[in-house]
């Protein structure tokens, strides 16, 4: 059969985000896939070199629109480490709760994308509706639906408002009450398992060789989670588990998403119970004239896609000298995706891509 070149994206219904893959296909089978990123390249790291440390907080969250909160967190961690700022204990808990809430929102968005792509419109609508309820919480807390800029060096911008935790628990309960519905309609549905089992297998060796993290590595049975391996915020203060699966396919990865979401909700409840009283931020020097001692650091946190790292260099000036984000989608979307697509059907491109949780702006930055 004749070999054809097929452009998949950027304007394509099966493509989530502004991303493009060039597929070499024979009939319906993919022989070779070439990822073609760069549609969203804004040169963030260059722009950040031209802005002061504090001015970069509105910038970083825009790198990954699906979960801006982890971006804020990793940048704040880097700045705190270089400047030697301590974070009060309560702020650590507030940060953890906030990040787990963001993880739930991000996973619901991922579930929307995945269900939508498989044609489960009802589930997709539910997921998006439930994500909106989470966004309402964020809006109450920070004033913004999508970009929050809540985490600052030295803590968080403000404490939880009066009664916020109760409302949060109520919302999470109402979402959690729908888990049986999700399970019966989607996760235990034969259509889902038929479409996803054995699709997009990334073995442990491949995942390790290509820097896979997050669901990509946990679907191979490895309990690798930065929150456990290199704990930050308040993740070592409460008990929780890392969820893994063994089959390394799209089915396993989406199940991990579901399990993680439930785990996050439980973790939020535990964190609320264990949260101490106190201040939520330590004062930092005048941010407009803030100089950070020269040095370099690499900090990392676990975003909902995998390891999110930041390599930050300061030359002692008012602005960062070099900022480099290690984003999980970078390895998932370029090397692993190119590998996983070979031999798959055209219809499964979106399936594999979304189950790997590839978000284009993270790759391009």
Partner 1 sequence: MTSSLSTRLDATFKGVELGSGDDDRLAVSIPREAVVPVLTFLKEEGYDYLQLISCVDWIDRGEFELVYLLSFYTEDEVGGDGGKQDVLLKTTVPREQASAPTAIGVFAIAEPHEREIHELYGIHFEGHPRLTPLLLDRDYEIPPFRKDFDTKQYVADVFDRVPPVEEEG
Partner 2 sequence: MDRNQLMKWIKTPTKMAHKYSLNAVYFCTGCGIIEVPPTITTRWDAERFGVVATATPRHANLFLITGYVSVKTLRAIIRTYEQMPEPKYTVGFGSCTINGGMYWDSYNTINQLDKYIPVDGYIAGCMPRPEAIFIAVTHLWTLIDKDMADGYKRYRKNYGAYRANQEMVLGELEWPPLFPTEIHTNTGEGETDATAATPTMTEREKDDELA
| Cβ–Cβ under 8 Å, residues 19 and 39 | yes
Q: Which two tokens stand for residue 60?
A: 């970083």
Q: In this complex, which beta carbon is closest to partner 1, that of residue 270 or of residue 297?
A: 297
Q: Which does 285 bind (CB under 5 to 8 A by kind): partner 2, partner 1, none?
A: none
| Cβ–Cβ under 8 Å, residues 47 and 125 | no
Q: In this complex, which beta carbon is closest to partner 1, that of residue 290 or of residue 311?
A: 311
Site string for partner 2, 88-127 (x = CB under 8 A): ---------------------x--x-----------xxx-
User: CB of 309: closest distance to partner 1 in angstroms?
Assistant: 6
The yes or no reply on residue 66 touching partner 2 (CB under 8 A) is yes
Q: In this complex, which beta carbon is closest to partner 1, that of residue 105 or of residue 320?
A: 320
| Cβ–Cβ under 8 Å, residues 325 and 312 | no
Query: For partner 2, which residue of 26, 27, 28, 46 counts as binding (CB under 8 A)?
Result: 46
Distance CA 208, CA 211 (A): 5
| Cβ–Cβ under 8 Å, residues 348 and 333 | no
Other C-beta atoms closer than 10 Å to the C-beta of 247 total 16
Of 211, 17, 178, 201, nearest in space to 104 by CA:
178
Of 92, 68, 97, nearest in space to 80 by CA:
92
Cα torsion for 73, 171, 16, 33, to the nearest 10°?
70
The yes or no reply on residue 128 touching partner 2 (CB under 8 A) is yes
Question: First CA to last CA across the chain, in angstroms?
Answer: 39
Q: Which does 240 bind (CB under 5 to 8 A by kind): partner 1, partner 2, none?
A: none
Question: Which residue ranges make up the site for partner 1 (CB under 8 A)?
Answer: 37-38, 41, 43, 45-47, 50, 81-82, 208-211, 217, 222-224, 228-231, 236, 295-298, 300, 307, 309, 311, 313, 321-322, 324, 326, 330-331, 334-335, 364
| Cβ–Cβ under 8 Å, residues 73 and 100 | no
User: CB of 319: closest distance to partner 1 in angstroms?
Assistant: 12
Binding residues vs partner 2 (CB under 8 A): 4-13, 15-18, 38-43, 46-47, 50, 58-59, 62, 65-66, 109, 112, 124-126, 128-129, 131-132, 135, 144-147, 360-361, 364
């Amino acid at each position: 059969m004749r070999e054809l070149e097929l452009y998949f994206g950027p304007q394509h219904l099966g493509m989530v985000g502004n991303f493009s893959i060039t597929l070499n296909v024979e009939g319906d089978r993919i022989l070779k896939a070439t990822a073609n990123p760069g549609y969203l390249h804004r040169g963030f790291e260059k722009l950040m070199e031209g802005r002061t440390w504090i001015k970069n907080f509105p910038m970083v969250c825009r790198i990954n629109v699906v979960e801006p909160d982890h971006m804020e967190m990793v940048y704040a961690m880097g700045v705190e480490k270089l400047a030697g700022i301590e974070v009060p204990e309560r702020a650590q808990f507030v940060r953890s709760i906030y990040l787990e809430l963001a993880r739930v929102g991000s996973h619901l968005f991922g579930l929307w994308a995945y269900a939508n792509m498989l044609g489960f419109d009802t589930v997709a609508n539910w997921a998006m509706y439930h994500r909106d309820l989470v966004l309402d919480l964020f809006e109450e807390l920070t004033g913004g639906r999508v970009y929050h800029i809540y985490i600052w060096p030295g803590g968080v911008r403000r404490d939880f408002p009066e009664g916020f935790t109760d409302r949060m628990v109520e919302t999470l309960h109402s979402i959690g009450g729908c888990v049986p519905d999700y399970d019966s309609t989607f996760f235990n549905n034969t259509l889902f398992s038929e479409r996803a089992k054995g699709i997009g297998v990334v073995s442990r060796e491949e995942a390790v060789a290509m820097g896979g993290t997050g669901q990509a590595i946990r679907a191979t049975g490895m309990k690798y989670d930065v929150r456990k391996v290199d704990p930050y915020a308040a993740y070592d203060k409460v008990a929780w588990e890392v969820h893994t699966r063994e089959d390394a396919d799209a089915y396993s990865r989406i199940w991990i998403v579901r399990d993680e979401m439930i785990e996050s909700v439980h973790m939020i409840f535990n964190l609320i119970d264990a949260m101490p009283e106190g201040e939520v931020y330590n004062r930092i020097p005048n941010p407009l004239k803030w100089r950070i001692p020269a040095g370099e650091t690499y900090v990392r946190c676990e975003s909902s896609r995998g390891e999110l790292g930041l390599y930050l260099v300061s030359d002692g000036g008012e602005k960062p000298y070099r900022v480099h984000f290690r984003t999980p989608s970078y390895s998932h979307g370029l090397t692993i995706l190119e590998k996983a697509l070979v031999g798959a059907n055209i219809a499964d491109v979106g399936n594999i891509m979304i189950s790997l949780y590839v978000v284009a702006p993270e790759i391009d930055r």
